[in-house]
Amino acid sequence: MKKSLLWGLGLALLVPSVALAGPKFSSSSSKSTAKEDYGPDKAFDGLLNTSWGEDAPGLGVEQWLEVDLGEDVTVKTLSIWGGNFDGREAWNGRSRVAEATITGWDGKGNEVFTKGVTLGDRFARKDTSLGETFRKLRVTIDEVHEGAIYADTHIAEIAFDLKEKPDPMWAAAIEKDIGRSSRTRDLPQQGEDLLQDAYDGCRDEEDYSKNFKFIGAHAAHGPEYRVAYVHKYVPVGHRLKLLQFNEDAVDLLGRLKDANAIKWLEIGAAGAIKATDREWLLESVGFFKAYQDLRRTPRSTVPNWGSEGMEKGAFMNRGEPIAISVDSLGNIWTADTGNNRVQRLTAAGTVDKVIGAPERGIAEEWFGDRGAPYATGSEAGTEAGQFTQPVHITVGNYDTVMVVDASMRVQVFDGEGTFKKEWQVDTPWRPNPGTGNGTPILTWLDDDFYLIVKDEVFIYDAEGTQKNRYTLEGGPVQAGVIAAGGKLLVRHVGSRELTEYKPEDGFRQGNWLRKGVPDDGSEDWDLATDEKDNVYVVTDAGNVFKWNKRGKFVTKIEAFENARDMPRIAVYDTIIYISARNEIHRIAQED
């Protein structure tokens, strides 16, 4: 028969109630509700899911809390959690301390120091070098980051010398006290049993909310019974050191896959002393958020021409450009980078073909590096027809589709999306995220495909046979296309020129334009051509420039009123297509 959770919590009550003879807590005001006490002692209890909250009108400027330690102590580093840290949602909803004044007095009442502290606005503690000896400490609120919902300002915890190892005598005293009585000797094992019982209760849907909260609190600060012992034997300012997160409970939360675990993991991460522990817990938060996204009911309809999301017809660029190309029928093919798939849109803006893993999933890598987990429309994969962040796409002769992904794997499909061939590009180079594609870039001429990688060009046929490989003397390439009657035109990084090369061997012909591309303050470009061999340049300043195949300037089109990061362009007949911000925009040219 399972032990009741309330019985387990009652074990903690066997610890004798201890009056704190030394420390005395006070504040200018403190908030109290029927469910929660936000007294000043809560800022020194070692628990981040409790906090002091002021209760004055307004945002709490000039409100203060104070502790009299009963004796002089020397503190090298002071740590402050300046907000309500009962999860990020609570932190954002209530006001946080932006700037504060720390004041200390000695045992004779003499002020020994005053120091201003800027806490910033991060869900993390602020460590401040102190190097002072004092008996009484006061923290006064000077400036506040206003909460999204509530005005009252909170301080969750104040700690001393957090990164220094705790005095081993504290842990020894706790263990000795626990082992002194037969009633408490088995508390550690009973705590483990109760944790497992709570997990089993959740799995069996028995008292789910109460059991889940028990596991969550255990994950955030360790066994509940231990809190009273820490308060009894560990001095104020050092308690959080002995109330760290519990890996076993974190593991159980992971097995339950309940997004309500996010709050408890965030509390544990905020209190973690080591940066590696904090990162691990926040990564776990990322998994839960990704899983939450994955389980969210998909939209029944997605706007034509896309929007952000995982559904069919939606895109997820995650800060990268969405490369596009058009086929002979006017369909638009997209490299949906964040969703690990390729989508084909009709001329009406609806998706009629998706290439990628059939199941949605959670991706843990981004451009070859382990990153924050995220939910994706197609699982990343290495099998035929699967992708690991497709970064560029082109549609060549006979509507042959070629795609390259972040692993530098090339795949070829026919015009209906049927897999034909794949190969790995012979280069150690890999694209970096966060700066736009630059390269790799795919373009084509006749039956050959040209893959630009940094400053190199690989020429392949549709079967993957490498026909040539050469280096462009102008350096790394940011944009490129074969156009204007079979010329390889590229924009080298940092240049405002379109440099012309012979595509078969890379012989440099010089600048294609006499005056270069007009300077509109842009940094990122993309190039495209049409069936008449006109050349188009789209810039992140929101403009499209057009030249005919002889290099004569035709027109400037203001595509967007505001700048667009990393736009990508394709042209069919008189329609210009531009991908930006997870949408594809259409611009009709005059005949």
List, as one string, the DSSP characters of 398-467.
GG-EEEEETT-EEEEE-TT--EEEEEE-S-S--PPTTS---S-EEEEETTEEEEEETTEEEEEETT--EE
Three-state DSSP at 251 gives: helix
Q: Could you give the CA distance from residue 182 to residue 177 in angstroms, rounded to a whole number? A: 11
**Measured on CA atoms in the order 111, 112, 118, 124, is the torsion positive or negative?**
negative
Q: What per-residue confidence (pLDDT) applies to 18? A: 40
Q: Which of 311, 331, 315 is nearest to 580 (CA)?
A: 315
Q: Could you give the CA distance from residue 56 to residue 1 in angstroms, rounded to a whole number? A: 50
Residue 146's Cβ-side half-sphere holds a number of Cα atoms within 13 Å equal to 5
Three-state DSSP at 40 gives: helix
DSSP summary character for residue 348 = T
Q: Could you give the CA distance from residue 477 to residue 332 in angstroms, rounded to a whole number? A: 24
Q: Could you give the CA distance from residue 168 to residue 334 in angstroms, rounded to a whole number? A: 60
Q: Could you give the CA distance from residue 332 to residue 568 in angstroms, rounded to a whole number? A: 12
DSSP assignment of 71-99: EEEEEEEEEEE-S--SSHHHHHHSEEEEE
Q: Which long-range contacts link 274-279 to residues 24+ away (Cβ below 8 Å)?
A: 277/244, 277/245, 278/124
Global confidence as pTM? 0.76
Alpha-carbon distance values, 551 to 28, 235, 492 (Å):
75, 78, 18
Q: What per-residue confidence (pLDDT) applies to 6? A: 37
Q: Could you give the CA distance from residue 151 to residue 57 in angstroms, rounded to a whole number? A: 9
Q: What per-residue confidence (pLDDT) applies to 437? A: 54
Taking only Cα atoms into account, the Rg of the chain, rounded to an integer number of angstroms, comes to 31
Q: Which of 310, 301, 435, 306 is nearest to 363 (CA)?
A: 310
Where in 24-125 does DSSP place strands (E)? 24-27, 31-32, 37-38, 52-53, 64-81, 95-105, 111-118
Q: Which of 224, 222, 298, 326 is nearest to 570 (CA)?
A: 326
Place of tokens 């469910």: 35
- Can you say how many angstroms the Cα of residue 559 is from the centroid of all Cα atoms in its chain? 30
In sequence order, the β-bridge partners of residue 412 are 402, 421
DSSP assignment of 441-459: EEEEETTEEEEEETTEEEE
pLDDT in single tens digits along all 591 residues of the chain: 344 443 344 444 444 434 344 799 999 999 998 888 999 999 999 999 999 999 999 999 999 999 999 999 999 999 999 999 999 999 999 999 999 999 999 999 999 999 999 999 999 999 999 999 999 999 999 999 999 999 999 999 999 999 999 999 999 999 999 999 988 999 999 999 999 999 999 999 999 999 999 999 999 999 999 999 999 999 999 999 999 999 999 999 999 989 999 999 999 999 999 999 999 999 999 989 898 888 887 888 899 999 999 999 999 999 999 999 999 999 999 999 999 999 999 999 999 999 999 999 999 899 998 888 899 999 999 999 999 999 999 999 999 999 999 999 999 999 999 999 999 999 999 998 876 557 899 999 999 999 999 999 999 999 999 999 999 999 999 999 999 899 999 999 999 999 999 999 999 999 999 999 999 999 999 999 999 999 999 999 999 999 999 999 999 999 998 888 899 999 999 999 999 999 999 999 987
Domains along the chain with CATH numbers: 11-168 (2.60.120.260), 172-231+241-295 (no CATH), 324-588 (2.120.10.30)
Q: What per-residue confidence (pLDDT) applies to 5? A: 40
The answer for 338, left when phi > 0, alpha when psi is -120 to 50, beta otherwise, is alpha
